[in-house]
Amino acid sequence: MRRFAIVGSKASASDDFSLDDLPGTSGRLDVLVRCVRTALLHSHGVRRDAVVYLLLLGGPRAPRTLRFDGASAKFLRPDERALATLVKKSLASHADDEASGFVEVRQGVAAARGGVEAVLADAPGAKRYVLDEGGTDVRAIDLGDEDALFFVGDHLGLAQEVRDAIGAATEISVGPVSLHSDDVVAILSNELDRARVTTRRRS
């Protein structure tokens, strides 16, 4: 299982944003929905072994997290507007208001109160990685085939309090240039795809 937790520092935790101006009205949910596409979709379908968490730390209902699960997701479309529409409909739900942990609000999409702590509670056994420009090159690390959880910052990076909440984690980087979050997810996914082939060849 591969899990990506994308931290939206100011991303809207409510459905109060405009699909016609996503970057300007949603605290940059455009960055986050692009990561959903990259993590869950390949050329001819859905990555069934991938999960994406969008940590929504901005606006009236924050902190709140949406979880997209490749194993049960249906009708995922790759374009930003379609994904943002799915996010908007999911955020309109109040099913998670009083719940503990994730509650499914659409097919394959669940919502929970909280940010980092909700993600960690949902993936207790996963090995934690934090994307950091000063981290170890991902190519020097054996990603193996284990349950892995990658925390990726948005355009504002990871705030210290978010980093503290994540706790012990391996800091990794993907190369010499600072990249958009979705490109980081694309490179990590490729690294995991390659690692899996290597692992299978070994066994």
- Interface ranges with its own copies (CB under 8 A): 20-23, 30-31, 34, 37-38, 41-44, 77-82, 155, 174-180, 182-183, 186-187, 189-190, 193-194, 196-197
DSSP β-ladder status, 127-137 and 103-106: unpaired
In this complex, which beta carbon is closest to its own copies, that of residue 168 or of residue 177? 177
Tokens of 16: 């109060």
**What is the nearest approach in angstroms of its own copies to the Cβ of residue 73?**
16
**What is the nearest approach in angstroms of its own copies to the Cβ of residue 176?**
5
Beta strands in 77-126 (DSSP E): 103-106, 109-113
Q: Give the distance, in angstroms, between the CA of residue 32 and the centroid of all CA atoms in the same chain.
A: 7
In this complex, which beta carbon is closest to its own copies, that of residue 147 or of residue 183? 183
Helix (H) or strand (E) holding 103: strand 103-106
**What is the nearest approach in angstroms of its own copies to the Cβ of residue 79?**
4
In this complex, which beta carbon is closest to its own copies, that of residue 43 or of residue 60? 43
Rounded to whole angstroms, the Cα distance separating 185 from 41 reads 12
In this complex, which beta carbon is closest to its own copies, that of residue 99 or of residue 197? 197
Question: Is the distance from CB of 164 to CB of 199 less than 8 angstroms?
Answer: no
